[in-house]
Amino acid sequence: MKYTLYLFIFTLCVSCSEKQPTEFELVTEYFVGFKTSNYEQIKNVISDTLTTISGDYTTVFTPETYYQQFQWDSVFRPEYKLISTEQNNNKFIATISISCSKFEFLKNNPMICRRKFQFQSGKITNIEELDCSNVNWNIWAKEVETLVRWIENNHPELDGFVHDLSLKGAQNYLKAIELYKERVIE
- What pLDDT digit, counting tens, does each position of 10-47 carry? 444 545 556 788 999 999 999 999 888 899 999 999 99
Q: What is the pLDDT of residues 76-90, one digit of tens each?
A: 999 999 999 998 777
What's the mean pLDDT in 147-173? 95
What's the mean pLDDT in 153-162? 94
What's the mean pLDDT in 156-162? 94
The answer on 165 and 112 residing in a single domain is no
**Whole-number percent of the chain with pLDDT over 90:** 81
Confirm whether 11 is domain-assigned: no
Give the total number of structural domains in the chain: 2
Domain range for residue 33? Answer: 20-135
Element (H or E) spanning 119, and its range? strand 111-120
> How many Å apart are CA 174 and CA 59, to the nearest integer?
23
The answer on 155 and 85 residing in a single domain is no
**Model confidence band, residue 167 (pLDDT cutoffs 50, 70, 90):** very high
What's the mean pLDDT in 119-127? 95
> How many Å apart are CA 62 and CA 36, to the nearest integer?
21
The answer on 154 and 127 residing in a single domain is no
The answer on 141 and 54 residing in a single domain is no
Q: What is the DSSP string of 37-96?
A: T-HHHHHTTEEEEEEEEETTEEEEE-HHHHHHHHHHHHTT--EEEEEEEEEETTEEEEEE
Element (H or E) spanning 106, and its range? none
> How many Å apart are CA 182 and CA 186, to the nearest integer?
6
> How many Å apart are CA 127 and CA 93, to the nearest integer?
9
| Contact yes or no for 22/115 (Cβ under 8 A) | no
**Model confidence band, residue 125 (pLDDT cutoffs 50, 70, 90):** very high
